[in-house]
Structure 1
Amino acid sequence: MYTQAFKVLEILEKSDEPVETSEIAQALSLSKSAVWKHINELRQLGYDITASEEEGYVLHDKNQDYRPHIIYKHLKTKLIGRRMRFFESIPSTIWYGKDLAEQGGIDEMNGMVIIAEEQTGGIGRMGRAWVSPTGGIWVTIILQPQIPIDHLFMLTLAASVSVARVLRKMYDIGALIKWPNDIIIGDKKVAGILLELGAEGQKVEYCLVGIGIDANVNLESLNQTIRSTITSISQEVNQDVDRAVLLAAILKEFENRYEMISQGEYDAVIREWKNFSSTIGRRVRIVTLRSHFEGEAIDIDPNGALVVKKDNGKIERVIAGDCIHI
């Protein structure tokens, strides 16, 4: 979708001087109005381009390795990520996605991916803070799903499976899923998933799938409390990873499972989730707003609830809460 816009970007990247509209138009056989349109597309994507009538267009911050045009080169999806927004710094991609979706025109935003180099107010489950410094992958996918509202939790499962699968395949590391939405390596968290939705009654207007991954995050820059509970991919493989390639691969895996869910193929995704689960078969402590108890995690049910056999033999289904492996 951005083919011509990225050709304009390539011309600006290669030039050490401002580039006039006529020069771009001639090089790409475009009209001046088309050049202006593509410049605006690039600005909406997050590129810092200034212009003056006397000199022309100037692209700032050239040759970055984690920008939409780089991600786009690796993207093999049909819908997810074909539209993007990029920010050097933003409070939260999911907050921005919510504001965008509630402005209307969700049809045009379906599949859009909002990407941030840094989040200053990242959020996790239950409104908790999520530290999101530079070097990570902080994205939100805007969707208009045709999925029954009681099966929307499947999007969380699909995103979790997609991240775990790609980390295993690309880096040969034993990523697993800790219920409900954490991806862990060993006993440390490397990624998390967050699902938000806008609905009226049983009608779903939009869904937001937030994915946060500590890809190349410098763990030494974090405080000791946080550092003791998380890891990064670069820490595990002893080198920085190509975030553009990684994100493109995850978006493709997610789209595959999103299509399955949209066609009602829930069981296949649930089976995958169970295969990657670090929680099923473990003794756990469950903490909810109303109670806390211990037992053995034995399954997840068709609604995504964790099934726990309590110490007294009773079966408890946990829809929301903290799950602590013990």
Structure 2
Amino acid sequence: MKDTAINVLKILEESPGPVSGERIAEQLGITRSAVWKQIRELRRLGYQISSSRAEGYRLETKTDRLFPYEINKMLRTRVIGRQIRHFDSTASTGWVAKKLAAESDPEKLHGMVIIAEEQTGGVGRLGRAWVSPAGGIWATILLKPSVPLDHLFMTTMAGSVAIARAIRKEYGISALIKWPNDIFIGDRKVAGLLLELAAEADTVHYALLGIGIDANVPLDELSSNLRDTVTTLQAEVGREVDRVALLARVLREFELRYQQLEDGEYDSIIREWKSLSRTLDNRVAIKTINKTFSGEAIDIDEHGALIIRKDNGKIERVIAGDCFQL
């Protein structure tokens, strides 16, 4: 959104009633024709603006799109989200983040959030397709970590806690975390995360935390093979949710936990993750690259591995794999 359009929007937001085109033009030092052009652009972007020859323009409702201007009004962070790139559509916000990191100093981009209204080529864990239609929240947080390499995996834990807490606080819904990186409501997935690192030897150039939340995605728009395992916040709440407010809350919750990681407060993250887990203390089936087995999920260790007491009584430590609750 261009600065002139934002300035027109601010005048409409701050006015208790209709504002004439002439008054807007005088305040901004532009022509009335230019005002009309910006009004038309704001309407195209989803803002509902009524007009009357006698009274002028009135902002009726704001857009539902995840524009940086709207997010910044609700953001309560120091670093995360203070830089935002927004796209109507892109193959992958992660791909955009990698390109930006390659073209600039990742340290200067630390905390940047790349957002897309839809992704046409989203990729999830293990290279699986990440279905990302319009109405969801599809974002990547670009980080230049100061967290030790052996604890960077906890960035995903911090993100999982942030999303679960944000959903609980915004809607009073008992969102829980399924190991290793999914958020569930009941027995259906509503969000997921993906952590990617650009590193060599002991040096981490940057980290990307991908976030996907099925916010206002109509269930009937999901493919038939997903409808039994996936839900959306719109379906759970019974109405469209405010995606801007939710994303701003997620970024705030994430910054709080990421600060704990930077301060070395690893136990705090692990305790909170455990308190929100739907995996621990339940029978699960585990599928790794090499084998499949079942047992009880009894703990998660300091490296994020899931500890399973197998049906034969032996203890198995699972670093990576698929986990299915039985």
TM-score for the superposition, normalised by structure 2: 0.84
Mapped to 2, the partners of 1:89 and 1:68 lie a distance apart of 15
Name the residue aligned to 1:260.
260
Name the residue aligned to 2:308.
308
Retained in 2: the 8 A contact 1:76–1:252?
A: yes
Name the residue aligned to 2:6.
9
Gap change, CA 1:7 and 1:157, over 3 Å in 2: farther
Retained in 1: the 8 A contact 2:307–2:315?
A: yes
Query: Letter of the aligned partner of 1:107 in structure 2?
Result: E
Name the residue aligned to 1:46.
none
Name the residue aligned to 2:64.
65
The structural deviation recorded for 1:12 is: 6.8
Name the residue aligned to 1:95.
95
Deviation readout 1:75-120 (Å, 9 max, x if unpaired)? 0100111100001111111111112112232122111000010011
Deviation readout 1:44-95 (Å, 9 max, x if unpaired)? xxxxxxx9xxx99984633222211111110010011110000111111111
Name the residue aligned to 1:36.
none
Look up the SS of the partner of 2:111 in the other structure.
Answer: coil
Name the residue aligned to 1:168.
168
Retained in 2: the 8 A contact 1:80–1:112?
A: yes
Look up the SS of the partner of 2:64 in the other structure.
Answer: coil
Mapped to 1, the partners of 2:294 and 2:38 lie a distance apart of 66
Mapped to 2, the partners of 1:77 and 1:7 lie a distance apart of 26
Retained in 2: the 8 A contact 1:177–1:279?
A: yes
Look up the SS of the partner of 2:208 in the other structure.
Answer: strand
Name the residue aligned to 1:272.
272
Name the residue aligned to 1:81.
81
TM-score for the superposition, normalised by structure 1: 0.84
Mapped to 2, the partners of 1:133 and 1:291 lie a distance apart of 34
Name the residue aligned to 1:37.
none
Taking the TM superposition and a 5 Å limit, the aligned residue runs for 1:84-123 are 84-123=84-123
> What is the number of residues matched between the two proteins?
293
Look up the SS of the partner of 1:253 in the other structure.
Answer: helix
Name the residue aligned to 1:287.
287
Deviation readout 1:189-236 (Å, 9 max, x if unpaired)? 000010001112111110001110000101101221111110001100
Look up the SS of the partner of 1:260 in the other structure.
Answer: helix
Look up the SS of the partner of 1:88 in the other structure.
Answer: strand
Retained in 2: the 8 A contact 1:13–1:59?
A: no
Mapped to 2, the partners of 1:175 and 1:318 lie a distance apart of 24
Query: Letter of the aligned partner of 1:9 in structure 2?
Result: I
Taking the TM superposition and a 5 Å limit, the aligned residue runs for 1:190-229 are 190-229=190-229
Mapped to 2, the partners of 1:181 and 1:160 lie a distance apart of 7
Query: Letter of the aligned partner of 1:11 in structure 2?
Result: V
Deviation readout 1:133-166 (Å, 9 max, x if unpaired)? 0100000000001011110111000000010011
Name the residue aligned to 1:128.
128
1:318 equivalenced with 2:321 (yes/no): no
Mapped to 2, the partners of 1:304 and 1:116 lie a distance apart of 29
Gap change, CA 1:28 and 1:204, over 3 Å in 2: farther
Look up the SS of the partner of 1:281 in the other structure.
Answer: coil
Gap change, CA 1:58 and 1:199, over 3 Å in 2: farther
Mapped to 2, the partners of 1:95 and 1:212 lie a distance apart of 15
Retained in 1: the 8 A contact 2:5–2:41?
A: no
Retained in 1: the 8 A contact 2:70–2:244?
A: yes
Mapped to 1, the partners of 2:291 and 2:107 lie a distance apart of 41
The structural deviation recorded for 1:168 is: 1.0
RMSD (Å), alpha carbons? 2.4
Look up the SS of the partner of 1:76 in the other structure.
Answer: coil
Mapped to 2, the partners of 1:250 and 1:172 lie a distance apart of 15
Mapped to 2, the partners of 1:318 and 1:73 lie a distance apart of 42
Query: Letter of the aligned partner of 1:267 in structure 2?
Result: D
Look up the SS of the partner of 1:293 in the other structure.
Answer: strand
Mapped to 1, the partners of 2:302 and 2:225 lie a distance apart of 35
Retained in 1: the 8 A contact 2:93–2:138?
A: yes
Query: Letter of the aligned partner of 1:166 in structure 2?
Result: A
The structural deviation recorded for 1:174 is: 1.2
5+ residue gaps, structure 1:
30-50
Retained in 1: the 8 A contact 2:123–2:130?
A: yes
Mapped to 2, the partners of 1:184 and 1:210 lie a distance apart of 17
